[in-house]
Structure 1
Amino acid sequence: MPVSDGDEPYSSNWATKYRIVDGDPGGLFTVSTGPSRLEGIITTAKPLDFEKNNRYNLLVTVENEVPFATPLPTSTATVQVNVEDRNDAPVFDPVEKVVSISEHLTVDSDLVLYTAIDPDIMAHELMYRMDRDPAKWLDINSETGMIKTKHPLDRESPFVKDGKYRVLILAIESDEIPATGTGTILIELEDVNDNSPTVDDTPLKLCNHDPRLVRLAVTDRDGPGFAEPFSVGLLEESKMYCTAQMDKTGTVVELTFKAMREQRNFYINLRVTDAGGLNQDHVIHVTMNEDSCMTWGDFCVRP
């Protein structure tokens, strides 16, 4: 917006400054003094939206940098800003949707309907596509946006972080140059007790005259409430060879073997149960050596 001034060129009495006083309640525009100091430059301060308002009438005032010596009317100008339409990308609502389901949801079940809208006045038809599904568990209806399970879910999968599985969905316009919107589904997988506890069943070699306390760590892939503390029991004839109990943490089996006069090979049958009541039987092969204890290395301890 060029202006003119009759004061001494390049002085403060001659230079100008500008203000938008009406027509911009949302603060979408700013006005500044241009390099010549006799021009105002209007720029956008925030993104414009054709669908909300396609025309603005801005009332702009201009003054000198130094106030007038005598009262003078303030010069004003009205600037009309016409907003041109562009093809906006589809928008998912919400941009991130949280869904809580059991990890045992059956295959081919409806998970969630997730759709987008085209904000353009001349809206396009939308097609939906799965963009990121790292475990390949899901499928989406390209027309409706309904997401279904195509494979079993697993909360203990390496693709699940802190019990949450993240999926990205695309909404694509049916246009020659289609705009694409992206939405996120955050699936919170509710844990079920579907993993039994396991122990290290590596064969044991012990000294028959001086057997030692053996500690076996217990692991369980399930989350809190379905894992520790564990319990343990001996099955069949195993009680004649040793006793079994859990340590104070409830995560380690402690086997105390009985001394024997001769070399023996036998099996220990353990049943380990998790906090949710799911158990697993384990068989451990044990060798008791009679004469050559030191040949068994770290497995045999003699005073």
Structure 2
Amino acid sequence: PVFTQEIYSFVVFENVALGYHVGGVSAHTMDLNINITYLITTGDQKGMFEINKMTGLITTASIIDREERAFYQLKVVASGGTITGDALVNITVRDLNDNSPHFLHAVESVNVVENWNTGHTIFQAKAVDPDEGANGQVAYSLKQNPKNLFSIDERSGAISLTGLLDVNDGSYQVEIMASDLGVPERFSSFILTVSVHDVNDNPPVFDQLSYEVVISELEPVNSRFFSVYASDKDSGTNGEIAYNIIEGNTGDA
């Protein structure tokens, strides 16, 4: 038998229903009394397609996933008695927007310090989408942006500061969303915890600018006669205060 073409080319979209008609092949022989039968011999190890042995019609036998495999080359053999002929069948699988962008983790965290300037990049978000073309292109946005202190680059996913962070807030929960450019649009999101740490950027402040005290010359040695008080807005060890006399203590009185 001789096929009408040496190479057949068909296109099919992924996720089509079982039994979808991909295309047909045809062979003929000079002996009109011989029935020709068709068989797929190579190129379809997982049995994604089947061929009607009498008509040569190729249909889907399983769900086709472009992300798993985007191209098949089948070898089809036509048999007529003891004589055979063969042809190649190229099947290209076209993409559907059946995958959402995917972040590696559902939750991420980052440590920052309170005095970082506006524009400082604090995190790099990254999502992947295995779809093809616009279906696989990812755009980033912020779904939850506490106090509008953060911004994200739509294309790169870089997150930067738009204002000064307050260590008294402790941390911020930022929800980052990745959307593809397909139709319909598909998206996913994750939560970034931004923990703010203190910087020693506040000096201790006394509760008065000056103090005045009168003491008797008869006051015993090591007796307590007065106290001063200072506070520091920093937290942790940065806010702990130690006192000492640096001037005016003549004779270590």
TM-score bracket, shorter-length normalisation: 0.5 to 0.7
Change (3 A) 1:182 1:264: farther
- CA deviation vs aligned residue, 1:99-156 (integer Å, no higher than 9, x gap): 123224222222212122235x476322222222144321111222111112122222
Q: Which residue of 2 aligns with 1:168?
A: 75
Matches within 5 A, 1:125-204: 125-131=35-41, 132-157=43-68, 159-160=69-70, 164-174=71-81, 178-201=82-105, 203-204=108-109
Matches within 5 A, 1:76-155: 90-119=1-30, 121=31, 124-131=34-41, 132-155=43-66
Change (3 A) 1:289 1:243: closer
CA apart distance, 1:225? 2.6
Q: Which residue of 2 aligns with 1:16?
A: none
Structure 1 unmatched runs, 5+? 1-89, 293-303
CA distance in 2, matches of 1:144, 1:256: 63
CA distance in 2, matches of 1:93, 1:270: 55
Change (3 A) 1:173 1:136: same
Change (3 A) 1:245 1:135: farther
TM-score when normalising by structure 2: 0.63
Question: Superposition RMSD on alpha carbons, in Å?
Answer: 2.9
Change (3 A) 1:184 1:281: same
Between 1 and 2, higher relative CO (CA 8 Å, sep ≥ 6) is seen in 2
Moved more, 91-100 or 187-196: 187-196
TM-score when normalising by structure 1: 0.54
- CA deviation vs aligned residue, 1:56-90 (integer Å, no higher than 9, x gap): xxxxxxxxxxxxxxxxxxxxxxxxxxxxxxxxxx2
CA distance in 2, matches of 1:102, 1:227: 16
CA apart distance, 1:96? 0.7
CA apart distance, 1:98? 1.0
Of 104, 112, 116, 1:207 maps to 112
8 Å CA contact retained: 2:104, 2:127: yes
1:234 aligns with 2:138: no
Count of matched residue positions in the alignment of Structure 1 and Structure 2? 190
8 Å CA contact retained: 2:73, 2:90: yes
CA apart distance, 1:97? 0.6
Q: Which residue of 2 aligns with 1:83?
A: none
Identity of aligned residues (%): 18
What letter matches 2:165 in structure 1?
A
CA apart distance, 1:233? 2.4
8 Å CA contact retained: 2:108, 2:193: yes
CA apart distance, 1:171? 1.6
CA apart distance, 1:203? 2.2
Change (3 A) 1:232 1:122: closer
Change (3 A) 1:289 1:142: same
Of 179, 189, 203, 1:273 maps to 179
Q: Which residue of 1 aligns with 2:189?
A: 282
CA distance in 2, matches of 1:244, 1:135: 47
CA distance in 2, matches of 1:156, 1:244: 32
Q: Which residue of 1 aligns with 2:233?
A: none
8 Å CA contact retained: 1:263, 1:290: no
What letter matches 2:181 in structure 1?
A
Change (3 A) 1:212 1:245: closer
CA distance in 1, matches of 2:25, 2:13: 19
8 Å CA contact retained: 1:263, 1:287: no
CA distance in 2, matches of 1:264, 1:169: 67
Change (3 A) 1:98 1:241: same
CA apart distance, 1:246? 2.6
CA apart distance, 1:274? 1.6
Structure 2 unmatched runs, 5+? 200-253
CA apart distance, 1:235? 2.1
